[in-house]
Chains A and B, each alone.
Chain A
Amino acid sequence: MTHVQSFQEDCIALAHEKLARGQMTRRQFNAALAALGALGGAGAMSGHANAQTAKEVVFVNWGGVANEAFGKYYGKPFEEKNPGVKVVMDSSGPTTGKIRAMVESKKVTWDTCDGSVTSGILLGGLGMLEPIDYNIVKKSDILPGFAYPYTVGPYSFSNVMIYDSSKFGNDPPKTWVDFFDLKKYPGKRMLRRDANCMFETLLMGDGVAMDKVYPIDVKRGLEVLKKIRKEAVYWNSGSESEQLMRTGEATIGVLWNTRAKVLHEETKGRITWTWNQGILQPAAFPILKGNPAGALAQQFIASCCANVEAQVGLLGFFANGPTNPRAAEKVPDDLKKFNPTDPANAKVQLIFDGEWWGKNYTEVNQQYLDTIAS
């Protein structure tokens, strides 16, 4: 994992770490999944019996435990509802480059995948994705701001500010302006080595109001970056972001809420996070142009978006937020503070504008990487 790791890849790494640390045994994990799978009753078995002649939906993910989790939370419920259909989990890693190569070669074997909003706009703009059919995927199953023309997803995550509270007494940093205040809050800052969501951080850090962040003023963001870059460390992967905070190399940082939860629990709240001005974004399942399963893939995505129980289950496992508006109230109280889309948490966050990023990512990311490197 030497490239900049995507959120999805990180979930797998995170789950592996949890299993490895014994915070969750594989047996517990499987038992939880089995309980969930049992919701559909005995139909599951007969569905499998027909699998050989059945239609398939191929869902590509980033491998590892996520392959298993997505299979149980997303694949299995769909198979149970649609006897004769098999959801095939493929863990070969759907990078933007691979999707493009596959669609251009006209030998599409994938239906949908665990992609990103930005890459969805990028590929959709190149005509390489099927638009999401919102007659099949119900908009009422999706929180506002999470449905895109080419992607929609059944979970969400947020880029939040993490800090070591032991360093700042009873006046911890609360906003991105505090984040960039090196005098008041000494220590290294931790940023992600990818422009996505970092420009939002940079601009809010320069005092831009949350509702004025988009369209992003790239020049201004780069100026803010230039002021901080010598005092910053950058992460490529989620585990790296965790490690930089854990070892104390950075005192404040931006990372994914899934990682914030791990650090918070591990340090009993010494290292903790704020939802305030977090940048909240949905998962993005695109459908590849000319996909073999056709409209069945739309139905699969619709089923994931409608399945409230599975979304709450995944929140408990990965801290991925549900995207179904009816899910938040089903979340157990002790999990609510970890849920990025809990109404109390969501209202203080900025909703990521994938449209802007899809149009500008290629250019802006390069500028971001170049500025860090100089």
Chain B
Amino acid sequence: MAASSPAKAPRMRGDQLRRFYWLLVMPAVLMMVGLYFFPLAKVLWISVTEPVPGIGNYAKLITSESVHKVLIVTLRICVITTAVTLVLGYVLSYAMVQAKGAWLRGLTFFVLLPLWISVLVRAFSWVTLLRSNGVINQALLSAGVISEPLTLLRNEFGVIVGMVHYMVPFAVLPLYSNMRGIDLRLIAAARLLGASPWRAFRRIFLPLSLPGVVASGVLVFIFSMGFYVTPALLGGGRVFMIAEYIGVQITQTINWGLGTMLATLLLVCILTLMALLGRIVDMRKLFGAA
């Protein structure tokens, strides 16, 4: 699309202008290439050169049980986290669209509040709540609901709780911005034509909000794949996700070939998802451009 077509004289001005724009962004592009893409490529290159040149590290995707395990665990946690986050985020966004005045401000505040609290503080708070002699177990035990403490922590459940808590605001923001664009009079019209409230929601509102759902889902899923702190603290060593796995390979055991292979895999997955997302929704709109 950037190719100029000299045959069409009237468009020359536009092309010149476009070239001028490119010139303006050139310093930024060069900086990104020199300081970001080039070093990144160099790091990823290690995945085909270490410990011996070749695709030995990528073969581990098929042969290594350890790699299978971390990929399956990561995928499972990301899918569950995304699903739960979407349900909660959808309900919240829907409430925000309906709410007005102080209610809307209150809801927005409490959705955004966790974003300002350090991920470490949040994880440790969950530990206090969820551990075997923690607040939740104590309360349930003394109420006689359970006789043995529930294992809520140091397993995938604990990790998912922590991750969902982290991700809900990220789901709400695109969902809310999408839902606000839906003309609520359409619902009223459907009701007027005899649809039940549920039918009006299912046939009118839900389909119209789907782009928001997809955008939120992909965003949450991408974020989830990179989780490091939360699984490490709430998983108690038992939940090993890909980001931490890569961390161990790079800093501790200096198994850089394997670490960079998985980093490459992660990057490819994320770029693919972003590309898919770009085909489904208008990215500029999603990230707030009018």
Contacts and interface: CB of A to CB of B under 8 A. Distances in A.
Interface string B73-114: 100000000000000000000000000000000000000000
A201 to B, nearest CB: 15
A341 B142 CA distance: 47
A233 B154 contact: yes
B256 to A, nearest CB: 8
Interface stretch (B19-27, B209-217, B228-236, B269-277): B228-236
A372 B248 contact: no
B251 A236 contact: no
Interface in A229-277: 233-236, 247-249
B232 A249 contact: no
B264 interface: no
Interface string A1-37: 0111000000000000000000000000000000000
Interface stretch (A49-57, A168-176, A300-308, A363-371): A363-371
B240 A96 contact: no
B236 A4 contact: no
A249 B131 contact: yes
Contacts, number: 78
Given A2-B232, A247-B133, A249-B131, A97 B238 contact: no
B238 A362 contact: no
B228 A98 contact: no
A248 B253 CA distance: 32
B69 A2 contact: no
B66 A248 contact: no
A2 B236 CA distance: 11
A243 to B, nearest CB: 9
Contact of B253 (A2, A234, A235, A362): A362
B133 A193 contact: no
B239 interface: yes
Contact of A236 (B70, B232, B254, B256): B232
B255 interface: yes
B237 interface: yes
Given A234-B238, A361-B253, A3 B248 contact: yes
Nearest to A3: B247
Contact of A372 (B133, B237, B254, B256): B237
Contacts of A96: 251-254
B140 to A, nearest CB: 17
Contacts of A373: 69-70, 73, 237-240
Interface in B148-197: 154
A122 interface: yes
B150 to A, nearest CB: 14
A369 B248 contact: yes
Contacts of B253: 96, 122, 361-362, 365-366
B233 A97 contact: no
B123 to A, nearest CB: 9
Contacts of B247: 2-3
B244 interface: yes
A95 B237 contact: no
A100 interface: yes
A60 to B, nearest CB: 14
A135 interface: no
B65 to A, nearest CB: 8
Given A95-B252, A247-B131, A248-B133, A234 B239 contact: no
A362 B251 CA distance: 11
A193 B237 contact: yes
A100 B254 contact: yes
A372 B66 CA distance: 12
Contacts of A236: 232, 237
A366 B250 CA distance: 13
Interface string B39-75: 0000000000000000000000000011001100100
A233 B256 CA distance: 29
Contact of A365 (B133, B237, B244, B252): B252
Given A2-B233, A233-B236, A362 B254 contact: yes
A236 B238 CA distance: 12
Nearest to A364: B253
A210 B39 CA distance: 48
Contact of A370 (B133, B240, B251, B255): B240
A97 B237 CA distance: 21
| Most chain A CB within a 10 A radius of its CB, from B69, B228, B236 | B236
A358 to B, nearest CB: 11
Interface in A100-134: 100, 122-123
Given A3-B252, A365-B253, 8 more contacts: A2-B228, A96-B253, A97-B256, A235-B237, A366-B248, A370-B66, A373-B73, A373-B239
Interface of B: 65-66, 69-70, 73, 131-133, 154, 228-229, 232-233, 236-240, 244, 247-248, 250-256
20 contacts: A2-B232, A95-B251, A96-B251, A96-B252, A96-B254, A97-B256, A100-B256, A123-B254, A193-B237, A234-B236, A234-B238, A235-B237, A248-B133, A249-B132, A249-B133, A367-B66, A369-B237, A370-B69, A372-B237, A372-B238
